[in-house]
Structure 1
Amino acid sequence: MSSISADTGRPQSWLAPGSLIRLAICLVVCFAAAVLGSWMTLPSIPTWYAGLQKPFFNPPNWIFGPVWTLLYALMAVAFWRVWVLGRGPALQAAALAFAVQLVLNVAWSGLFFGLHAPGLALIDIAALLLAIIATMSAFSRIDSRSAWMLAPYLAWVAFASVLNASIWWLN
């Protein structure tokens, strides 16, 4: 299985050893962020979060784990594709945008669940939405499929923003 590199015009094998090592690194980085976010989130779910007033559209708690697992996997694969296909300043911009959104993603868990600060988390998630859009834009300069792989993440974070705002308002 191969693809044409956006920058070099040369065929790129997705199964080459270097490519698979990059995939492993992307998976480790993304799921390390997931673990860190979960570490800050899980202790507050049965205690602080359970006591909050929530809007009628709040999903059941069990849905968040599978959704986030899929989203982190999509993020990892999207960044892997960009890392393999990209070069030079375009890759640097994409990597920076990706890192910023990942930091904001983890920070949201710390603010909302760790510090019990939905208002601060709302500011963070607004920045996260912008960072995801910037990441998608940077990815699209290298690989449009990678950019579109982040669309479900953008949609979920947009929904989470409304949920965050509602919880902040109700409490």
Structure 2
Amino acid sequence: MNFLASKAQLRASFARWSLFLVPLIVLLGFLGGQMGSPSTVWFQSLSKPSIYPPPAAFGIVWTILYVMIGFSVALVASAWGAFGRGIAIIAFALHFIGNLAWTYAFFGLQNMQLGLGVLVYTALSLVVVIWLFWRVRRIAGLLLLPYLAWVLFASVLNWQFIVENPDGGAGAKEAGAVERIEL
């Protein structure tokens, strides 16, 4: 059944979706960030690239981006009856898994190459999501552009970590540093 919603109904739908999705995306981002930590001995022993921002910047930037992502998804979710809405939401969900997996790949597994692979997947799938969102609601696609810029920056930064630490951070192990994690 297709029907046209009034502007007031669309605004109300967007508000409801926003109240649900913005906190959910921020929470998932926070939980994803708990799958690894830059405070490990391994990461602290890595040579940091010159483009590495102050550590406090990551929390600030990611919080702002997750809020923007939440509003973007809410715009698409509230576009009842819009052509491509369902596939756009599915594509976003598949994309967001990559976003959340990076912390575990890079910090949790301490695998910079896998982290870069996850970022490449994240960037490529994000381009698809932006295109699909754009077709449903242009503003939803536009809201994801700063996120794409940050993912591309993160990819360059990840690559620089690989270049500056060709041993993969083995220096921490050679220095006798040990980190034991028990479950």
TM-score by length of structure 1 reads 0.87
- Two-structure CA RMSD over aligned residues (Å): 1.9
Cα distance between partner residues in 2 of 1:102 and 1:12: 30
Aligned-pair identity in percent equals 29
CA drift of 1:73 comes to: 0.2
Question: Map of 1:20-169 to 2, 5 A cutoff?
Answer: 20-42=15-37, 44-87=38-81, 90-169=84-163
**Amino acid of the residue matched to residue 59 of structure 1?**
P
1:3-18 equivalent positions in 2, closer than 5 A? 10-13=5-8, 15-16=11-12, 18=13
Per-residue deviation, 1:8: 5.6
Gaps of 5+ in 2: 166-183
**Separation (CA, whole Å) in 2 of partners of 1:68 and 1:36:** 12
1:37 counterpart SS class = helix
- 1:21 deviation in Å? 2.8
Shift of 1:87: 2.7
Q: Which amino acid aligns with 2:120?
A: A
CA distance in 2, matches of 1:150, 1:136: 7
Deviations 1:109-133 (A, max 9, x none): 1100111111001111001001110
Deviates more, 1:72-81 or 1:52-61: 52-61
In the TM superposition, what is the alpha-carbon distance from 1:55 to its structure 2 partner? 1.1
Q: CA deviation at 1:25?
A: 2.0
The answer (yes or no) to whether the contact 1:82–1:143 under 8 Å persists in 2 is yes
- SS of the equivalent of 2:129 reads helix
1:94 is aligned with what amino acid? A
Q: TM-score, normalised by structure 2?
A: 0.82
Question: What are the superposed Cα offsets for residues 63-82 of structure 1, whole Å, 9 maximum, x if unpaired?
Answer: 00000000000000000011
Which of the two has higher C-alpha Rg?
A: 2
**CA offset digits 1:16-35 (Å, max 9, x no partner):** 2x443321221232112212
Are residues 94 and 55 of structure 1, via their aligned partners in 2, closer, same or farther at CA, if it must alter by over 3 Å? same
Sort the Cα spacing of 1:41 and 1:8 in 2 relative to 1 into closer, same or farther, 3 A.
farther
Counterparts in 2 of 1:36 and 1:72: CA distance versus 1, 3 Å:
same
Paired residues of 1:33 and 1:102 also in contact (CA < 8 A): no
**Structure 1 unaligned regions, length at least 5:** 1-6
How far off is 1:138 after superposition?
Answer: 0.5
Check whether the contact 2:83–2:136 (CA below 8 A) recurs between aligned residues. no
Residue 22 of structure 1 aligns to a residue whose secondary structure is helix
